[in-house]
Protein backbone atom coordinates (compact mmCIF):
# COMPACT_ATOMS: atom_id res chain seq x y z
CA UNK A 1 0.00 0.00 0.00
CA UNK A 2 1.28 3.45 -0.92
CA UNK A 3 -0.65 6.61 -0.05
CA UNK A 4 1.72 9.03 -1.79
CA UNK A 5 -0.02 11.11 -4.47
CA UNK A 6 -0.03 10.60 -8.22
CA UNK A 7 1.35 13.61 -10.13
CA UNK A 8 -0.39 14.62 -13.35
CA UNK A 9 0.48 17.43 -15.71
CA UNK A 10 -0.70 18.97 -18.95
CA UNK A 11 -0.17 22.18 -20.90
CA UNK A 12 -3.56 23.36 -19.64
CA UNK A 13 -6.75 21.84 -18.36
CA UNK A 14 -7.14 19.01 -20.89
CA UNK A 15 -5.25 16.63 -18.61
CA UNK A 16 -8.19 16.84 -16.23
CA UNK A 17 -9.95 14.39 -18.57
CA UNK A 18 -7.30 11.88 -17.44
CA UNK A 19 -7.78 12.90 -13.80
CA UNK A 20 -11.50 12.23 -14.15
CA UNK A 21 -10.81 8.66 -15.29
CA UNK A 22 -8.10 8.15 -12.64
CA UNK A 23 -10.48 9.23 -9.86
CA UNK A 24 -13.19 6.96 -11.26
CA UNK A 25 -10.86 3.95 -11.38
CA UNK A 26 -9.00 4.65 -8.13
CA UNK A 27 -11.11 6.86 -5.87
CA UNK A 28 -8.71 6.41 -2.94
CA UNK A 29 -5.77 8.09 -4.69
CA UNK A 30 -4.52 11.59 -3.93
CA UNK A 31 -3.69 13.54 -7.08
CA UNK A 32 -1.53 16.61 -7.60
CA UNK A 33 -2.34 18.28 -10.90
CA UNK A 34 -0.33 20.94 -12.68
CA UNK A 35 -1.82 22.78 -15.67
CA UNK A 36 0.50 25.17 -17.46
CA UNK A 37 -2.35 27.60 -18.13
CA UNK A 38 0.02 30.53 -18.57
CA UNK A 39 1.72 28.91 -21.58
CA UNK A 40 -1.02 26.78 -23.17
CA UNK A 41 -1.17 25.72 -25.99
CA UNK A 42 2.10 23.81 -26.46
CA UNK A 43 1.01 22.20 -29.72
CA UNK A 44 2.26 24.89 -32.11
CA UNK A 45 5.65 25.28 -30.40
CA UNK A 46 9.04 23.93 -31.38
CA UNK A 47 10.38 20.62 -30.08
CA UNK A 48 13.00 22.44 -27.98
CA UNK A 49 10.44 24.64 -26.28
CA UNK A 50 8.14 21.71 -25.55
CA UNK A 51 11.07 19.80 -24.01
CA UNK A 52 12.02 22.81 -21.87
CA UNK A 53 8.44 23.26 -20.63
CA UNK A 54 8.03 19.52 -20.00
CA UNK A 55 11.20 19.47 -17.88
CA UNK A 56 9.98 22.39 -15.79
CA UNK A 57 6.54 20.80 -15.37
CA UNK A 58 8.07 17.49 -14.25
CA UNK A 59 10.51 19.30 -11.94
CA UNK A 60 7.64 21.14 -10.29
CA UNK A 61 5.73 17.90 -9.68
CA UNK A 62 8.87 16.22 -8.40
CA UNK A 63 8.99 18.78 -5.57
CA UNK A 64 6.21 16.68 -4.00
CA UNK A 65 6.72 13.20 -2.67
CA UNK A 66 4.95 11.33 -5.45
CA UNK A 67 4.80 7.68 -6.47
CA UNK A 68 4.24 8.09 -10.23
CA UNK A 69 3.81 10.81 -12.87
CA UNK A 70 1.18 10.74 -15.61
CA UNK A 71 2.02 13.02 -18.53
CA UNK A 72 -1.60 13.76 -19.47
CA UNK A 73 -0.66 15.73 -22.57
CA UNK A 74 -0.45 14.26 -26.06
CA UNK A 75 2.01 16.91 -27.16
CA UNK A 76 4.49 16.26 -24.34
CA UNK A 77 3.95 12.49 -24.46
CA UNK A 78 4.83 12.36 -28.15
CA UNK A 79 7.69 14.88 -27.99
CA UNK A 80 9.44 14.53 -24.64
CA UNK A 81 8.27 11.45 -22.74
CA UNK A 82 11.59 9.62 -23.03
CA UNK A 83 13.48 12.69 -21.79
CA UNK A 84 11.17 13.26 -18.82
CA UNK A 85 11.26 9.55 -17.94
CA UNK A 86 15.07 9.34 -18.20
CA UNK A 87 15.53 12.36 -15.94
CA UNK A 88 12.98 11.33 -13.32
CA UNK A 89 13.51 8.98 -10.44
CA UNK A 90 9.80 8.11 -10.61
CA UNK A 91 7.91 5.88 -13.05
CA UNK A 92 6.51 8.10 -15.81
CA UNK A 93 3.48 7.13 -17.93
CA UNK A 94 2.33 8.94 -21.08
CA UNK A 95 -0.79 8.76 -23.23
CA UNK A 96 0.56 7.82 -26.68
CA UNK A 97 1.52 4.21 -26.05
CA UNK A 98 -1.71 3.18 -24.26
CA UNK A 99 -3.93 5.00 -26.79
CA UNK A 100 -2.03 3.40 -29.70
CA UNK A 101 -2.49 -0.02 -28.18
CA UNK A 102 -6.20 0.52 -27.69
CA UNK A 103 -6.65 1.76 -31.28
CA UNK A 104 -4.69 -1.18 -32.69
CA UNK A 105 -6.89 -3.58 -30.73
CA UNK A 106 -10.20 -1.90 -31.55
CA UNK A 107 -9.84 -1.29 -35.28
CA UNK A 108 -11.40 -3.95 -37.52
CA UNK A 109 -10.18 -2.62 -40.86
CA UNK A 110 -6.80 -1.23 -39.71
CA UNK A 111 -7.74 2.22 -41.07
CA UNK A 112 -7.17 4.41 -38.04
CA UNK A 113 -7.58 8.18 -37.83
CA UNK A 114 -5.51 10.35 -35.53
CA UNK A 115 -6.25 13.91 -34.51
CA UNK A 116 -3.89 15.91 -32.33
CA UNK A 117 -1.84 19.05 -32.14
CA UNK A 118 0.64 19.96 -34.87
CA UNK A 119 3.51 18.91 -32.60
CA UNK A 120 1.97 15.51 -31.86
CA UNK A 121 1.36 14.72 -35.52
CA UNK A 122 4.85 15.98 -36.48
CA UNK A 123 6.60 13.48 -34.18
CA UNK A 124 5.10 10.42 -35.90
CA UNK A 125 4.96 8.75 -32.46
CA UNK A 126 1.48 7.28 -33.03
CA UNK A 127 2.48 5.79 -36.42
CA UNK A 128 5.50 4.14 -34.84
CA UNK A 129 3.55 2.56 -31.99
CA UNK A 130 0.51 1.53 -34.03
CA UNK A 131 2.47 -0.01 -36.91
CA UNK A 132 4.69 -1.87 -34.46
CA UNK A 133 1.55 -3.50 -33.08
CA UNK A 134 -0.25 -3.84 -36.43
CA UNK A 135 2.14 -3.57 -39.38
CA UNK A 136 -0.67 -3.52 -41.97
CA UNK A 137 -2.48 -0.61 -40.26
CA UNK A 138 -2.91 2.65 -42.13
CA UNK A 139 -2.84 5.79 -40.02
CA UNK A 140 -4.50 8.92 -41.38
CA UNK A 141 -3.43 11.94 -39.34
CA UNK A 142 -4.91 15.39 -39.07
CA UNK A 143 -3.56 18.27 -36.96
CA UNK A 144 -6.36 20.33 -35.40
CA UNK A 145 -4.71 23.53 -34.10
CA UNK A 146 -7.98 25.37 -33.44
CA UNK A 147 -9.47 22.74 -31.15
CA UNK A 148 -7.48 23.55 -27.97
CA UNK A 149 -8.18 27.31 -27.93
CA UNK A 150 -11.86 26.67 -28.72
CA UNK A 151 -12.18 24.09 -25.94
CA UNK A 152 -10.35 26.29 -23.41
CA UNK A 153 -12.80 29.06 -24.32
CA UNK A 154 -15.83 26.87 -23.72
CA UNK A 155 -16.75 26.40 -27.41
CA UNK A 156 -17.27 22.65 -27.51
CA UNK A 157 -20.99 22.03 -27.17
CA UNK A 158 -23.21 20.43 -29.81
CA UNK A 159 -25.14 23.16 -31.60
CA UNK A 160 -22.23 25.65 -31.41
CA UNK A 161 -21.87 26.63 -35.05
CA UNK A 162 -18.20 27.60 -34.67
CA UNK A 163 -17.02 24.25 -33.32
CA UNK A 164 -19.30 22.30 -35.66
CA UNK A 165 -17.83 24.12 -38.66
CA UNK A 166 -14.24 23.54 -37.51
CA UNK A 167 -14.94 19.86 -36.76
CA UNK A 168 -16.36 19.39 -40.26
CA UNK A 169 -13.36 21.10 -41.84
CA UNK A 170 -10.81 18.99 -39.96
CA UNK A 171 -12.59 15.64 -39.94
CA UNK A 172 -14.10 15.41 -43.43
CA UNK A 173 -10.83 14.01 -44.91
CA UNK A 174 -10.79 11.26 -42.24
CA UNK A 175 -14.43 10.44 -42.89
CA UNK A 176 -13.73 10.28 -46.64
CA UNK A 177 -10.96 7.76 -45.98
CA UNK A 178 -13.47 5.62 -43.99
CA UNK A 179 -11.46 5.26 -40.82
CA UNK A 180 -13.22 2.92 -38.38
CA UNK A 181 -11.35 4.13 -35.28
CA UNK A 182 -10.35 7.67 -34.37
CA UNK A 183 -7.74 8.47 -31.74
CA UNK A 184 -8.43 11.68 -29.83
CA UNK A 185 -4.69 12.27 -29.53
CA UNK A 186 -4.96 15.38 -27.38
CA UNK A 187 -6.38 15.32 -23.87
CA UNK A 188 -8.53 18.38 -24.54
CA UNK A 189 -10.53 16.58 -27.23
CA UNK A 190 -12.81 14.40 -25.08
CA UNK A 191 -14.83 17.56 -24.49
CA UNK A 192 -15.55 17.50 -28.22
CA UNK A 193 -16.60 13.87 -28.10
CA UNK A 194 -20.29 14.50 -28.74
CA UNK A 195 -19.68 16.83 -31.68
CA UNK A 196 -17.01 14.52 -33.15
CA UNK A 197 -19.12 11.36 -32.66
CA UNK A 198 -22.13 13.01 -34.30
CA UNK A 199 -20.01 14.02 -37.31
CA UNK A 200 -18.11 10.74 -37.74
CA UNK A 201 -21.16 8.51 -37.21
CA UNK A 202 -21.84 5.55 -34.91
CA UNK A 203 -19.62 3.09 -36.81
CA UNK A 204 -16.44 5.00 -35.86
CA UNK A 205 -15.00 4.15 -32.45
CA UNK A 206 -13.32 6.94 -30.52
CA UNK A 207 -10.21 6.37 -28.39
CA UNK A 208 -9.73 8.83 -25.53
CA UNK A 209 -5.97 9.18 -25.00
CA UNK A 210 -6.27 10.73 -21.52
CA UNK A 211 -8.50 7.93 -20.27
CA UNK A 212 -6.13 5.33 -21.75
CA UNK A 213 -3.21 7.01 -19.95
CA UNK A 214 -5.18 6.89 -16.70
CA UNK A 215 -5.89 3.16 -17.18
CA UNK A 216 -2.22 2.48 -17.88
CA UNK A 217 -1.28 4.40 -14.71
CA UNK A 218 -3.71 2.35 -12.66
CA UNK A 219 -2.31 -0.91 -14.12
CA UNK A 220 1.24 0.25 -13.40
CA UNK A 221 0.41 1.05 -9.77
CA UNK A 222 -1.27 -2.33 -9.39
CA UNK A 223 1.75 -4.13 -10.79
CA UNK A 224 4.03 -2.13 -8.45
CA UNK A 225 1.73 -3.01 -5.55
CA UNK A 226 1.54 0.73 -4.91
CA UNK A 227 -2.19 1.46 -4.77
CA UNK A 228 -3.47 3.67 -1.95
CA UNK A 229 -5.57 2.29 0.85
CA UNK A 230 -8.92 1.78 -0.95
CA UNK A 231 -10.93 2.77 2.13
CA UNK A 232 -9.64 6.34 2.17
CA UNK A 233 -11.15 9.22 0.19
CA UNK A 234 -8.68 10.55 -2.39
CA UNK A 235 -8.05 14.29 -2.55
CA UNK A 236 -6.99 16.49 -5.49
CA UNK A 237 -4.79 19.56 -5.36
CA UNK A 238 -4.45 21.81 -8.36
CA UNK A 239 -1.64 24.13 -9.44
CA UNK A 240 -1.63 26.44 -12.45
CA UNK A 241 0.83 28.92 -13.94
CA UNK A 242 -1.73 31.65 -14.71
CA UNK A 243 -4.36 33.30 -12.54
CA UNK A 244 -6.60 30.92 -10.59
CA UNK A 245 -9.62 33.04 -11.48
CA UNK A 246 -12.24 31.04 -13.33
CA UNK A 247 -10.32 27.77 -12.72
CA UNK A 248 -13.06 26.05 -10.70
CA UNK A 249 -15.69 26.78 -13.31
CA UNK A 250 -13.67 25.59 -16.30
CA UNK A 251 -12.13 22.64 -14.43
CA UNK A 252 -15.60 21.44 -13.44
CA UNK A 253 -16.44 21.10 -17.14
CA UNK A 254 -13.40 18.84 -17.73
CA UNK A 255 -13.94 16.85 -14.54
CA UNK A 256 -17.75 16.75 -14.84
CA UNK A 257 -18.17 17.54 -11.17
CA UNK A 258 -18.00 20.57 -8.91
CA UNK A 259 -14.48 21.68 -8.00
CA UNK A 260 -14.18 22.95 -4.43
CA UNK A 261 -10.58 21.99 -3.78
CA UNK A 262 -7.63 24.26 -3.38
CA UNK A 263 -6.00 25.78 -6.48
CA UNK A 264 -2.76 27.71 -6.37
CA UNK A 265 -0.76 29.73 -8.87
CA UNK A 266 2.97 28.99 -9.16
CA UNK A 267 5.94 30.44 -11.04
CA UNK A 268 6.75 27.51 -13.33
CA UNK A 269 9.93 29.11 -14.68
CA UNK A 270 11.47 28.81 -11.22
CA UNK A 271 11.56 25.05 -11.80
CA UNK A 272 14.14 25.14 -14.56
CA UNK A 273 16.97 22.68 -13.93
CA UNK A 274 19.30 24.58 -16.25
CA UNK A 275 19.70 21.66 -18.69
N1 LIG B 1 -3.71 18.61 -23.80
C2 LIG B 1 -2.66 18.94 -24.73
C3 LIG B 1 -2.37 17.72 -25.60
O4 LIG B 1 -2.84 16.66 -25.21
C5 LIG B 1 -3.06 20.20 -25.36
C6 LIG B 1 -2.25 20.65 -26.48
C7 LIG B 1 -1.60 21.98 -26.46
O8 LIG B 1 -1.23 22.50 -25.42
O9 LIG B 1 -1.45 22.49 -27.57
O10 LIG B 1 -1.69 17.73 -26.58
Ligand 1 binding pocket includes 73 (Cβ within 6 Å)? yes
Ligand 1 binding pocket includes 78 (Cβ within 6 Å)? no
- Residue 185 makes CB contacts below 8 A (sequence gap 6+) with 74, 78, 95, 96, 99, 114, 115, 116, 117, 120, 121, 126, 209
Q: Hey, how many other C-beta atoms are within 10 angstroms of the C-beta on 54?
A: 25
Ligand 1 binding pocket includes 210 (Cβ within 6 Å)? no
pTM over 0.85: yes
Would you name the residues annotated as active-site residues?
73, 186
Closest atom, ligand 1, to C-alpha of 209? 4
Q: Are 94 and 106 in contact (CB under 8 A)?
A: no
pLDDT in tens, the chain (275 residues): 899 999 999 999 999 999 999 999 999 999 999 999 999 999 999 999 999 999 999 999 999 999 999 999 999 999 999 999 999 999 999 999 999 999 999 999 999 999 999 999 999 999 999 999 999 999 999 999 999 999 988 899 999 999 999 999 999 999 999 999 999 999 999 999 999 999 999 999 999 999 999 999 999 999 999 999 988 999 999 999 999 998 999 999 999 999 999 899 999 999 998 76
Amino acid sequence: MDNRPIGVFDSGLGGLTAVRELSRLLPGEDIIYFGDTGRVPYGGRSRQTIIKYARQDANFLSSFELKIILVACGTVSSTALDIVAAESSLPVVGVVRPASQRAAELSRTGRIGLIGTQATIRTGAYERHITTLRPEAELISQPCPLFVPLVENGRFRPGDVVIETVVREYLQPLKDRTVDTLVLGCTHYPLLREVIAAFMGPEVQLVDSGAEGARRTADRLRSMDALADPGRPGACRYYVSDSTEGFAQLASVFLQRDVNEQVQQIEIENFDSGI
